[in-house]
Amino acid sequence: MTYPIIDAAIAPSGHWSVLSRAEVARLLDRGHSGLYPLFRSCCLAVLASGSDLDDGRELLRRYSTFDVDVAEHASGVQINLAGAPAQAFVDGVLIEGIREHLFSVLRDIVFVVDEILDHPRFDLGTRGGTTDAVFNILRNANALKPIEAPSLVVCWGGHSISRGEYEYSKLVGYELGLRGLDICTGCGPGAMKGPMKGAAIAHSKQRRRNGRYVGITEPGIIAAEAPNPITNKLVILPDIEKRLEAFVRLGHGIIVLPGGAGTMEEILYLLGILLHPDNANIELPFILTGPANAASYFARVDQLIEQTLGKAAQARYRIITGDPVAVAREMASGLERVRRQRDAAGDSYSFNWRLTIERDFQQPFVPTHESMAALDLYPGPSHVLAANLRRALSGIVAGNVKEQGQMEIEKHGPFVLHGEPRLVGALDSLLAYFAAANRMKLPGKHYQPCYRLVAKAG
């Protein structure tokens, strides 16, 4: 099967359309240490927005002739595309939102490498250095709004969801938007697009012209969750851990919609942070919600949390199903508590500096057969166990949709995880439920598990 393609020259846009010759050379360096492969894959993912793919390697196969170049122009750097997906264009002209996203890719890749990863100012081996790096990436992207009262609601959920769940996510976004609240998601399809779409309609009805639809992603997952065109502020963090920290530092409240392993990873990440003793009194409203028929889904999630992290973890969130109005009212009330707390403490509205995030949640986890087998899935301090469960889910997500993880599985077979029998049994039961409900891949695709769970007494 052939896929329509187009060649185009994209005019400069914004501050990051001005690059030094050294920066351009690094972007176009196709060698082992060069940035071209990363730049090309991220650009292709942006241009493929709206496709039905959740497989980066398949995307690269479909558009194997795709090439991207940057060239100096009288008014800045021009992006030249060859063999680009035609769906990104209307009558030969690139859709404006996708054009903005292309230059966001350019901006973040150059900034992260030159000013974060290769800069002695940031010690990424420390908690403070990592948090400073996340702050600077968000600030460089102009994602921080320091004088605006808390209004940014992070919505997590799967890209592989039913039509009814998608429509419900739009209703949640709509009710949030009617109350003047903004949306931040992983910027992909499904539960990441629905709340933005609903809020955009509500903001239009309320004549709110500065609505924020923030999308936070990372290179390893951008092809599986290509930025949807409603996103008006795209930020690409260098890895999943910094992406997750950006969500909880930037957002003022969290809503979780139905999803699969990736959504469960996000839930465990947040619970692990909230269960840290230093964060016991920090206001961060946390709601799990879906349509009425998602009650059984959240009952399963709630059961896993009880069996692994206990009732203290369950106390940190509220489950509301079938009532988007109640969700929005609860979140608006929670954000008012956030505002009062930050006012009283003199804290920033735009970045949650007070939240303690341990190194277990910041250290990039590279899922290999060795690292997955070494995870300690045994009872212990709840925030430590949450960190290890989060890593296990991160590895499963990598095996499902990330190129590096898929290659690891093809070479050595499924990841093998060992853990305490009751804990492993609970996790296995939930993952099997996700697979049976088509929550591990896009509907219509047969799911081949990339993991094997083995019960082993500690």
pLDDT tens string for the chain (458 positions)?
A: 788 999 999 987 665 567 888 888 888 998 877 899 999 999 999 998 877 666 667 888 899 999 999 987 777 788 999 999 999 999 999 999 999 999 999 999 989 988 898 788 899 999 999 999 999 999 999 999 988 999 999 999 998 789 999 999 999 999 999 999 999 999 989 999 999 999 999 999 999 999 999 999 998 888 778 899 899 999 999 999 999 999 999 999 999 999 999 999 999 999 999 999 999 999 999 999 999 999 999 999 999 999 999 999 999 999 999 999 999 999 999 999 999 999 999 999 999 999 999 999 999 999 999 999 999 999 999 999 999 999 999 999 888 878 788 888 999 999 999 999 999 999 999 999 988 888 876 555 677 888 999 988 76
Question: In order of start, what are the domains of the chain with their CATH numbers?
Answer: 5-119 (3.30.1850.10), 122-458 (3.40.50.450)
Radius of gyration of the chain (CA): 21
Residue 94: its H or E element: strand 93-94
Of 337, 146, 134, the C-alpha closest to 249 is 134
Give residues with Cβ within 8 angstroms of 412, minimum separation 6. 369
Give residues with Cβ within 8 angstroms of 217, minimum separation 6. 186, 187, 188, 225, 227, 234, 235, 236, 237, 243
Q: Cα(130)–Cα(123) distance, rounded to whole angstroms? A: 7
